[in-house]
Structure 1
Amino acid sequence: MRIPLAYLSIILIWATTPLAIKWSGEGPGFLFGVAGRMSIGIVCVITLLLMLRQRLAWHGKALLTYLAVALQIYGAMLSVYWAAQFIPSGWISVIFGLSPLITALLSALWLKERSLSPGKLLSYGLGVGGLAIMFGSALQFGPEAVLGIAGVLVAAGLQSASAVWVQRIHAQLPALSQVAGGLLLAVPAYWLTWWLADGQWPVSLPLASLASIIYLGVIATTIGFVLYYYVLAHLAATRVALITLLSPVLALMLGHTVNHEPLTMKIVSGTALILAALVLHEFFDRMTNYFVRKTTARTRRRLRPLD
C-alpha cells in the first residue's frame, strides 16, 4: 500500500509543481526562486534526518549516488526554472512526459534493459510527433517559447539520466539520504550560480512567489523528492517515469483554470500524441505477449488430441 500511495502523491505533486515554479520566479527571478526553494528543502531534509537519527553514508557508492541525484536537483531543475519564463506552466509537465521514453532509451544503452522493442520504437515516433506539434505551437508564441521547450527537454534528459545512474550505482541508500546528499551538493551550486548571474537581492517578493517557494521547498523538494527516490528504489526506472502519464493532463487543466494559460488545438493534439506514446510504450508489448500466449495455448489445446 505504501508504494501506490507514494506513487499517487508524486503524481499530484508533479501536477502542481510547474505552476508553482512559474509563480515562484515572478518577481524575485527564477534563480532566486530555485535557490530559495532548495535552501528551504535542505533545512527540512536535514531536520528529518536528525529526527529519524539517520546518518549519511560517505563511502564511494554513496558519494556517486549523491552526485547522480544532484544532476537532477541542480541540472534538471535549473533548466526547468529557466524555461518556465518562456512557456505556459502546463507545457512543462507535458514535455516532461517524454522522460519515460528517454529513460527507456538510456536504460537500454546503460543498464542493458530490453526497452527497444518494435512497440517501444513506435512509441518513440509518436512522442517525437507530439513534440514536433508542441514546437509548432510554440512558434505562435515567439522564438522564446521554442527555447523554453528546448530547456524542458534538456531537463527531462538530465532527470532520466539521473534516475538510470542511481539504479546503475545501486548503493541501496535510504531515499531521504539520497535527497540530503544531492541537496548538499546542489544548494551551494545554486547560490553560486545566483551570485554570478544575478547577485541582486529581490526588491519585492509577491505573496504568490513567497508561497510558491515555501510550497516547493517543503512539499515538492522534501516530500516529493523523498517519495520519488523511495519509489525509484522499489520499481524500475522506466515504471517510475510513467508518473508523467497523468500529471501532464492535470497540470494543463490547472494552468488553464488557475493561471488562464492558452489551451489551443495544437497544444491538445501534441499532448494527446505524447500521452498516446506513453500508453503505447507501457502496454503494447504486454498486450502483444498476452495475445501470443493466448494463441499458443489455444494451438496446444487443438493439437493435444493428435498426440
Structure 2
Amino acid sequence: MTVAAESASRWQVGSRYILLVLIWSSTPLAVVWSVQDLHPMWALTARFVLAAALAYVICKVIRLALPLHKLALQSYIAGSLSLLGAMLLTYMAAPYLASGLISLLFGFAPLVAGLMSYIWTKEQHLFAEQWLGMLIAVLGLGFICLSGERAFVQPVGIGLIFLAVLCYVGSMFWVKSIQANLHPLVQTTGSLVISAVGIVLLMPLFWQHLPTHLPSTLTIMAILYSVVVASIIAMLCYFDLVQRLNPSTVALTTVLTPVLALLWGVWFNHEHIGAGVINGVGIVLLGLILYFVREWMVGFRKKQT
C-alpha cells in the first residue's frame, strides 16, 4: 500500500469512527424527542416501517439479494430481538430517563455480553480487573439511582433499559449461533422487515393512542434522523469498522458515547444533571474503563509489533 493510499485509509477509518461516536451519542436524544409528541409505540412504528423500506430499497439499488431460506429467516428473527425487543423497551423507557443516561446504561452491554459468555458458553475468561470493573460500574449505577433526581432518573426507566440491553446482547449470541453468514446490510434489512411486521401486528394493542394531530417538526425530524442516520448510516459505519479495527478499539465507543450523550442532553434538551448523577456517571465510566483496559493494552501491543 502506498503512503497516499495508507493515509486515505486512515482518514476514512478515523472519520467513520468519529461519525459513529457522534451518531450513537445523539441517538438517545432523538429517541426522547420522538416520544415528546407521539406515543412511544407509534414513534417506533414509524421508525421501523420507514427504516425497513429504506434498507430494502438500498439492497435493491446495490443488487443485494434478500434470501428467504430457513437459516436466513431464523437469523432475521434473531436479529429482530435487538430491534423490536430492545428498541421497544428503550422507547418505553424514554419518558423516564435523561437521554444521556440511556446511552450510559447501554454502555453495560459489553459487560453483560462478557458475563453471559462466561456463564453459558465458557468461551471467555474474566480477569480480576474485569470483575472489579463490573462491580464499580454497578456501584456507580446505584449511586445514580440514589441521587434523588427523579425528574430524569426513575427506576422503571432503568429497569426497562436493562431488559433492552439483555435483548440486545441475547440477539448477538443468537445470531452468532445460527451462523447464516449473511451480508451485514442483508441481515439488518431482514431484521428490520421482521421488526416492522411485528410492530404492525401489535398495533391493535395501542390503537387508542393513534395520533389525532400532525406531530411537531421536532418529533418528525427526530424520527427521520433515527431512520436514516441511526438505523442506516451508523450501521454501515459500524460494520466497516468491525472489519478494519480490533474489536477492543471499536468497543472504546462504549466509553466515549455516554459522555457526549450527556452533553447533548444538557445543551439541546435542557436536561439538568446534578452533581450526584455526574459523580455516578464518573464511577460507571471508571468501571467500564477498568473492564476494557486489558483488551486495549493487548491491542496496543499487537499494533506495536
Per the normalisation by structure 2, the TM-score is 0.86
Seq. identity, %: 30
Q: Any conservation in 2 of the 1:68–1:165 contact (CA below 8 Å)?
A: yes
Does residue 1:157 correspond to 2:166, yes or no? Answer: yes
1:173 aligns with one of 182, 190, 208: 182
Compare 64-73 and 189-198 and name the one that shifted more.
189-198
Is the Cα–Cα contact under 8 Å of residues 98 and 152 in structure 2 kept in the other structure? no
Q: What's 1:23 paired with?
A: 33
Answering whether residue 135 of structure 2 is matched by residue 118 of structure 1, we say no
Alignment partner for residue 259 of structure 1, among 269, 275, 287? 269
* Structure 1 residues 64 and 6: CA distance shift in structure 2, 3 A: farther
The letter for the 2-side match of 1:151 is L
Letter in 2 for 1:31: M
Question: Which of the residues 1, 19, 34 maps onto 1:9?
Answer: 19
Partners in 2 of 1:38 and 1:207 — Cα distance? 19
Q: 1:197 to 1:59 in 2, by over 3 A?
A: same
Unaligned runs of 5+ residues in structure 1 are 292-307
1:195 aligns with 2:204: yes
How far the C-alpha of 1:4 sits from its partner, in A, is: 5.2
Instruction: Return closer, same or farther for 1:239/1:150 CA change in 2, 3 Å cut-off.
Output: farther
Q: Show the counterpart of 1:295.
A: none
- Greater alpha carbon shift after TM alignment, 75-84 vs 231-240: 231-240
**Pairwise CA RMSD of aligned residues?**
2.6
Aligned residues: 290
For the pair shown, the structure with the greater C-alpha radius of gyration is 1
Distance 1:80 1:210, change over 3 A: same
Of 38, 41, 59, 2:48 maps to: 38
1:21-170 correspondence runs (5 A): 21-137=31-147, 139-141=148-150, 145-170=154-179
Q: Is the 8 A contact 1:100 1:238 kept in 2?
A: no
Distance apart, 1:233 and its partner CA: 6.3
Match of 2:284 in 1: 274
Question: Tell me, what secondary structure is at the counterpart of 2:146?
Answer: helix
Taking a change above 3 Å as real, the CA distance of residues 237 and 164 of structure 1, as seen in their structure-2 partners, is farther
Shift of residue 104, structure 1, vs aligned partner = 1.2
Which runs of 5 or more residues in structure 2 are unaligned?
Answer: 1-8
C-alpha distance in structure 2 between counterparts of 1:269 and 1:213, whole Å = 32
Q: TM-score, normalised by structure 1?
A: 0.85
C-alpha change, 1:253 and 1:173, in structure 2 (3 Å) is: same
Q: Which amino acid aligns with 1:194?
A: M
